[in-house]
């Protein structure tokens, strides 16, 4: 059923019934993103565009019997749009007015560059998980198993699609380090070995815990490899049409179907979390 809605939207955008959202020159137009029943639609703020968009959604409801939940739907406006037009569009659609940042598939969508406080919820989630385990009842071996198989994987999704700031990575490593060493009478115990050494492979004297910095770099390289080897032409074209700056220490390259990859442009997927 999702393909039906996707085709209806694409047809309306192609015929000019729904105005396109402004984006970087030279990039292919992205009208919407959809995964199961979560969808983000990119359109301009004209009344005609929204009216035709509502017609598409109404047609989809009539065909499928699925009803749009207006209480869970929101419009995110540009700062330049007037209050009068905002109220007019909200009245026309019946949607709520959304505000940045918001989350799509668990990823924070912000205006501008991602900052440390945008990951505050992730840090609190890890802390709450640790508190629920009651460290005094866990042995060092038990804490090690939880570190390897639970805590280390909680942020994998975000690391795979975003460039998480170094300060957030340091904070996560600090939380995991404190959990590993435990506490006594509510105070953290002395850390006898550096976290960097603990994160080394067992054959190098470590415990095999993965450092978040290494996880992020590995996932970024994996994404870059998939973009080259798999047919993601639309995303490749979009990335190449945008401007990037080189970031030392991170996977950075451009992709040319004829010449192959070359060092020049930062393809760290931080742009996926920006709007």
Of 148, 157, 197, 203, the closest CA to residue 176 belongs to 148
pLDDT tens digit sequence for 212-253: 888 888 888 887 787 777 655 555 555 555 544 434 444 443
d(CA 127, CA 175): 7
d(CA 178, CA 170): 12
Q: How confident is the model at residue 230, as a pLDDT?
A: 64
Q: What is the pLDDT averaged over residues 119-133?
A: 87
Phi, psi for 111 (deg, rounded to 5):
-95, 120
Q: How confident is the model at residue 32, as a pLDDT?
A: 87
Share the mean pLDDT of the chain.
Answer: 78
Q: How confident is the model at residue 237, as a pLDDT?
A: 58
Tell whether omega for the bond before 101 is within 30 degrees of 0, i.e. cis: yes
Q: Please, are residues 95 and 86 in contact by the beta-carbon 8 Å criterion? A: no
Of 62, 273, 80, 60, the closest CA to residue 168 belongs to 273
| Positive or negative torsion for Cα 50, 55, 60, 66 | positive
Q: How confident is the model at residue 74, as a pLDDT?
A: 92
Q: Please, are residues 211 and 173 in contact by the beta-carbon 8 Å criterion? A: yes
Q: Phi/psi class of residue 230: alpha, beta or left (left: φ > 0; alpha: ψ in -120 to 50)? A: beta
Q: How confident is the model at residue 228, as a pLDDT?
A: 73
d(CA 151, CA 62): 45
Residue 108 β-bridge partners = 103
pLDDT tens digit sequence for 48-65: 999 999 999 999 999 888
d(CA 28, CA 12): 16
Q: Quick check: 270 pLDDT over 80?
A: no
Q: What is the pLDDT averaged over residues 169-194?
A: 80
Q: How confident is the model at residue 262, as a pLDDT?
A: 36
Q: Quick check: 184 pLDDT over 70?
A: no
Neighbours of 260 (CB within 10 A): 10
Length of the chain: 275
Q: How confident is the model at residue 87, as a pLDDT?
A: 92
d(CA 243, CA 201): 38
Q: Quick check: 191 pLDDT over 70?
A: yes
Q: How confident is the model at residue 247, as a pLDDT?
A: 46
pLDDT tens digit sequence for 61-119: 998 888 888 888 999 988 888 899 999 999 999 999 998 888 888 888 888 888 888 88
Q: How confident is the model at residue 254, as a pLDDT?
A: 39
């Amino acid at each position: 059923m999702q393909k039906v809605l996707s085709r209806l939207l694409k047809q309306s955008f192609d015929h000019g019934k729904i105005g396109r959202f402004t984006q970087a020159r030279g990039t292919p137009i992205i009208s919407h993103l959809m995964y199961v029943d979560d969808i983000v639609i990119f359109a301009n703020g004209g009344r005609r565009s929204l009216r035709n968009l509502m017609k598409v959604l109404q047609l989809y409801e009539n065909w499928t019997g699925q009803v749009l939940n207006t209480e869970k739907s929101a419009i995110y406006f540009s700062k330049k749009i007037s209050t009068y037009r905002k109220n007019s569009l909200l009245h026309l659609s019946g949607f709520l007015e959304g505000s940045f940042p918001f989350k799509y598939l668990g990823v924070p969508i912000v205006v501008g560059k991602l900052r440390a406080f945008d990951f505050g919820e992730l840090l609190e989630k890890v802390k709450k998980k640790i508190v629920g385990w009651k460290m005094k009842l866990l042995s060092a071996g038990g804490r090690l198993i939880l570190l390897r198989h639970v805590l280390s994987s909680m942020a994998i999704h975000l690391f795979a699609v975003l460039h998480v700031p170094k300060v957030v990575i340091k904070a996560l490593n600090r939380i995991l380090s404190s959990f590993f060493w435990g506490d006594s009478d509510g105070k953290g115990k002395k850390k006898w070995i550096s976290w960097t050494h603990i994160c080394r492979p067992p054959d190098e004297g470590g415990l095999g815990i993965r450092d978040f910095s290494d996880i992020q770099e590995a996932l970024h390289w994996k994404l870059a490899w998939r973009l080259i080897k798999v047919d993601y032409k639309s995303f490749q074209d979009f990335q190449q049409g945008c401007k990037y700056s080189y970031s030392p220490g991170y996977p950075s390259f451009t992709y040319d179907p004829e010449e192959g990859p070359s060092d020049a442009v930062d393809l760290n997927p931080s742009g996926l979390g920006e709007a």
